[in-house]
Every structure is written in C-alpha cells, then in structure tokens.
Amino acid sequence: MKIENIYVKKLVSQYREISLLNNVSALLSWDLEVNLPSRAMEARSAQSAYLTKLTSDKWLDTDFKKTLEKAQEARNLNAHEKAIVRNLVQGAKFYHRVPQETIVNLSETTSKAFFAWREAREKNKYKLFEPHLKKVIALSKIIAEHIGYSDKPYDALLDMYEPGFTTKEGKVIFGSLVKELGALLTKIKKSQAYLIDENKLLTTEYSPTYQKQIADFVLNKIGYDFSAGRMDVAAHPFTIELGAGDVRITNRYSPHNFIESVMVAMHEGGHALYEQGIVREFDGTPLAGGVSLGIHESQSRFWENQVGRSREFVEFLEPVLKAFYQKELNAETAESLSKAFNMVRPSLIRVEADEVTYNLHIALRFELEEAIINGKIKVEDLPEVWRTKMKKYLGVEPKSDSEGVLQDVHWSHGSFGYFPTYTLGNLYAAQFTFFMKRELALAKLIREGDFGTILSWQRKNIHQYGSLYWPKELVKRVTGKPLSPDYFLDYLKKKYSEMYSL
C-alpha cells in the first residue's frame, strides 16, 4: 500500500485509533451474544454507549474533519489513497451528520433492545420487545433524515450496508426474484419427487459434541485459521472481526439436525475466510474489512451453498459423517444424503430455509423494513403483517411470534437495511461462481477435497482487496459484468430441475 499524500497519511494515522475502538466495541458485542449474564445488561449498555461516544469523538475531532476535507480536495491521488478517502467520506456520513447524542442513544437503546428481544423470543411475547423496537425504529428514522437521501428514507439506511444500493433497485430485484422463485417453487411442489420426499434423517438424535467435531473438521479443511480465531456457541450464529489475527465465529447445535451445524460452519467460515484473507498491510486502516455486507455474504453463501450443498461435497463428507454417526447414517448413500442437504420445503424460519425459498424470506423482510421506515405500517401491526406475507410467499403461517416476527436478532441491533444484503450475497456468489468455473474444475476440486485451490482463487480475485474496490466495481473486475440476478436464477433452475425432474 503506497501512501504519499500528507493528508491521507495523516488520516490513516488518526483512523488507527478509531479502528482500535471499533475492535474493543466488537469484543463487547461478541461477549454480549456469547457469554454475558442477564444481570449485566445495564452495565454493558453503559459500557457500549461510552465506547460509542469515544468513537464518535474521534470522527468529530476538528483536526480529523479538516484533514479529511483537505484530502478530498487533493489531486493526483493513487488508487489506495482515493479508496481511503472514499471510505472515510462514506463513514463520515453517519458520524458527521447524525448528532452525537443520537448515536450514543442508539447504542444504549440497542443494547437493551437485544436483551428484550431475547426474553420476548424465549417467552413468545412480542409485546415485551415492541416498546424497545419502537425506540429503535424512531432513532433509525432520525438517523436517515440526518444522513439524507434523494428518494426514500430507507435509502439512507440501505446505503450504510451496501454503498449505493437503493429502495428502487431493491424493488426491481425482489420483484423479479419473488416471481421467478414462486414459479419454481410451484413446479417443485407439484413434482412426484417432492410429494414422496421425506427427510427421515431429522427424526434421529445427533450428538452435539460430534457435531462440533465435524464442524471443526470442515472449517480446517476449507482453510479457516484457528490460530487466528475460534468457534463458540450463540443463539443466532455470527462472525465478528476483533482485530488483526482475531476473527471469531459461532455455531449452534440442534439435537435432531446435524446438517444445520455443518452449513452454519461453512457459512460463518466463509465470512471468516474473507477477513483472514485481506492483505495484512490494510490492518487498522480504512481499507481493512470486507467492502460491504453483500460482498461479505457472497463469500459465506459460496461456501455454504455452491460448495457445501453440492453433490460433490456430500460425497467428500459422507465417510466423515458416517465415522461419527455409524448407526444413524449407516443405511444412507451419497444420493440420499445429498437430497437431505438440498430438500426444498417452505419453512417458517429463515436460517433453516433451503436455497429456493430463502430469498422469499428476505423479500418479506425487505418489504416490511421499507414500509416501517417509510411510515406505511405500524410497529403494533408487524406480527400480523408478517403472518400474512408468509402465507402469501411461502404458503406457511407462523403460529407464534417466536417463529415469526421475533425469529431474527437484527432489528434489536438497529440493523435496518441489513437484510437485503443476504439476497445480494446470493446473487454475487452465483455470478462469481459462474466465472470461477471458467478457470477451475470446481466440481472435481470439491469432490477431491482440494479446497485450497478454490480458496486461492478467492484470495486472488476478492479477499486480498478488502475495501479497496466498492461492490459494483469489484463484481465488474472479477466477472466483467454488472451484477445480475440471472446467474443465480439459472443456477437454481438447473440444480433443482435436475433434482426434482422438472
């Protein structure tokens, strides 16, 4: 990384303190979801709010703001310098436009909202979470107004997670996906294979201890560096970067579903591989970290779906699964296991959804968020609207708030605008994979367990760049084409048409 401009050089030096504060804040967040006892809520909320204030102070520092202005005016910046300034300007939208008291208030409010959400989910009582959610939404609307937007308030929040992404673009993408995926799902449900499909594997108990050992094996094979991370347990699995050499993931183990923990390991491992693959010279600078949540999600979706749910991966993993679960899986074949890994069944829970129905779950959330932020529906009405849309898109209806509106943690964190990046990740992943196959014999590599070659392709084309290239530029550099849903839809139609003899 070559930095010659004096203003950019000074910005990087000043930003390193912000980076350190972000890492400490991330550590508190990890502890909040993994270890924190319930009685520590008030203290942790205060700690998080204080760290948020310190971080905000750094962004609002007069000298830092003046230096950023000077850097924006500078000419003849190289690619790294331009990207650093661009990323800082993007980050400054939040800290320079939103009043500090609002930022601190959001931090404290979301810390309390998380505990309220967790209790509400456990007790199946949306009313326990509702007042907290109202506060989070009110603050999110205030933030959107301060950040500014050209069309819809929701645009300001979307842009925080996927630079340049808008409500208008989202409606086009989800409109197309809902139509195409709905039609594919209808065909699958009418097929003879669907009618006789039954996942008998999920009626047996599978040792959580063995599930963890299998997850560890999978993570080691795909290249996750345990000396620079660890895997813990969380109700809602996640990946978090706590600084150079510390990228942690979490998993969960269902006694009747060993497939879920394998897929979670692949998914969160994909996120972690991205962070572990960024060139070390970017550490602590505005170029560190994945460039957007959509690109980040593409890396996790690739390992979870394009690799983890492939017939070739199931063939590779079959002897390992049978070594741990000899009695339970002895009668299974690679074909029957592959069907279990890819069975299409409309379900209530997003994180348990198959590839065909998953984005219908996201379409629902995109529509609800857009309506909430743009003032079209009330917080009190969310559970009922949720049930109605689930019935419309997936043909299933939640019988409780816990399996409906309370199933996701994101809104308690104030992460409005986050959900659409899951779908963007699926689209990016399919497009990247299409072009990866032009260079690599992907199926053969997976079957043989040669994941290092696959990871090397990702390191070369995506990981190493961190936040140097923004999403639209990165996908164009890697594939030569702008992002298109066509690659994803073609991938799904081909795969599931063959599986269900459509």
Residues serving a catalytic function are 268
52 Cα distance to chain centroid: 23
The response to whether 267 counts as a known ligand-binding position is: yes
Q: Measured between alpha carbons, how far is residue 268 from residues 9, 250, 252, 457 in Å?
A: 34, 7, 11, 19
DSSP 344: -
- Let me know if 192 is exposed, middle or buried by CB neighbors in 10 A (0-12, 13-18, 19+): exposed
Say how far apart CA 11 and CA 6 lie, in whole Å.
9
The response to whether 271 counts as a known ligand-binding position is: yes
- Reference 113, options 94, 140, 92; nearest CA is 140
Residue 270 makes CB contacts below 8 A (sequence gap 6+) with: 222, 299, 300, 301, 302, 303, 304
- Reference 238, options 382, 422, 386; nearest CA is 422
Neighbours of 435 (CB within 10 A): 16
The response to whether 236 counts as a known ligand-binding position is: no
Instruction: Retrieve residue 34's tokens.
Output: 């993994």
Say how far apart CA 412 and CA 420 lie, in whole Å.
17
Q: Phi, psi (5° rounding) for residue 98? A: -90, 130
Q: Count, in order, helices (H) and strands (E) of the chain.
A: 22, 3
Q: Which residue has the tokens 């994979």?
A: 433
SS3 of 475, please?
A: helix
Neighbours of 44 (CB within 10 A): 20
Q: Which residues of 370-381 are buried (b: 16+ CB within 10 A; e: fewer)?
A: bbbbeeeeebee
Instruction: Retrieve residue 356's tokens.
Output: 């065909």
Q: Phi, psi (5° rounding) for residue 329? A: -115, 10
Residue 337 makes CB contacts below 8 A (sequence gap 6+) with: 201, 314, 318, 321, 329
Q: Which residue has the tokens 């933030």?
A: 143
Residues placed in the known binding site for Zn(2+): 267, 271, 297
